[in-house]
Amino acid sequence: MSVAATLLSSRLLPPLLLIGSNVFMTFAWYGHLRFKTVPLPAAIIASWMLALVEYCLAVPANRWGSAVYSTAQLKTIQEVITLAVFAIFSIVYLNEPLAWNCVVGFALIGAGALLVFHPW
């Protein structure tokens, strides 16, 4: 593998793993809301099973990502991904549109994330 390909994969793999991680965690936290008649203990167990997969993706993402990104940058990447995944999940899975103020708030958080990555 060339140096460029190695650098590209080392920079892209952590965010890709964090996307997968966030998809599982979003379903763990909010997926049960479509099944409110399921007993709470069953929802908790199902959520824990999803959270296990989330951890199996998040831990390597952060371990490998720390070779390329600072921990503050990794956390920022994770938060921006969380908001994007949640927005899609809310609209597509829960059929709950995002209000304009949520969209603006998420955009402001995204703008704040840019400050973390700007080389001062």
Task: Give the number of domains in the chain.
Answer: 1
Question: Can you tell me the distance from the alpha carbon of 77 to that of 18, in angstroms, rounded to the nearest whole number?
Answer: 8
Each residue's pLDDT expressed in tens, for the chain with a length of 120 residues: 676 667 668 899 999 999 999 999 999 999 999 999 999 999 999 999 999 999 999 999 999 999 999 999 999 999 999 999 999 999 999 999 999 999 999 999 999 998 998 887
Report helix angle 3-30 to 40-65, nearest 10: 160
Question: Can you tell me the distance from the alpha carbon of 91 to that of 98, in angstroms, rounded to the nearest whole number?
Answer: 7
- Other beta carbons within 10 angstroms of residue 17's beta carbon come to 20
Print the domain residue range for 70: 3-117
Model pLDDT, residue 1: 66
Decide: helix, strand or coil at residue 98.
coil
Whether the pTM exceeds 0.85: the reply is: yes
